Structure 1
């Protein structure tokens, strides 16, 4: 995600703002679900997208095998914490690709 965001200067495509806001909201939702199921901490309330991503890497590293296996419900589906972490990674990668595709291209003469 950071590579997709790097180099965006000036006025980005309007969809980039929507995607980054959407990711921040869903990452907070996933963190709350994981915290409730695994007894893990939640991210700081004032964390932006980059801080949320850094926080989640450290938080996931700290989870025990038992916490990773804890069950939760997301969008009507029964998942383990590990399943939701994988879903979060796929979701982030998908939107990172969309953001990268929206970056202005250098034009060659």
Structure 2
């Protein structure tokens, strides 16, 4: 984990999440667009996991910063768009607010960077599963 003294603006963090979620290359959207035909069963698990993890991050952030939590009914696509806007709306004070995630004390900024890394990690897994090598 990088130092908590290192800070990113809300706009920079929103851009990072927007790219992890929606960029034309190396994002969740780009990885899902590679799927042709019936997706590998693991893709369903990965998208469900990303949805649950993002919702968990944002529920913790909302509680720590007294900001709105995501809609419980939002699927991954809506949640990815929502979190970009929610990140842009965070104040500098909110970004430095501490919370406990997985038994570790982190700032909201650190959790958002973790969220972006986690998103891209799984986007790569989805991309790898998008077009498995087919043997004749």
TM-score for both structures, normalised by structure 1? 0.93
Gaps of 5+ in 2: 1-27
| Distance in 2 separating the partners of 1:9 and 1:101 | 13
After the TM superposition, list the runs of 4 or more consecutive aligned residues in structure 1 that deviate by more than 6 angstroms. Answer: none
Question: Residue 12 of structure 1 corresponds to which residue in structure 2?
Answer: 39
Aligned counterpart for 2:115 among listed residues 50, 68, 88? 88
Aligned-partner SS, 2:35: coil
Gaps of 5+ in 1: none
Q: Larger deviation: 34-43 or 56-65?
A: 34-43
Q: Any idea what the Cα deviations from partners look like across 1:25-50, whole Å, max 9, x if unmatched? A: 00110010000111111111211101
Instruction: State the shift of 1:100 in Å.
Output: 0.4
| Distance in 2 separating the partners of 1:40 and 1:2 | 26
Instruction: State the shift of 1:11 in Å.
Output: 1.3
Q: Any idea what the Cα deviations from partners look like across 1:23-76, whole Å, max 9, x if unmatched? A: 000011001000011111111121110110000000000000000000000001
Aligned counterpart for 1:56 among listed residues 45, 60, 83? 83
Q: Please state if 1:77 is matched with 2:104.
A: yes
Alignment RMSD: 1.4
Question: Residue 43 of structure 1 corresponds to which residue in structure 2?
Answer: 70
Aligned-partner SS, 1:46: coil
TM-score for both structures, normalised by structure 2? 0.75
Aligned residues: 107
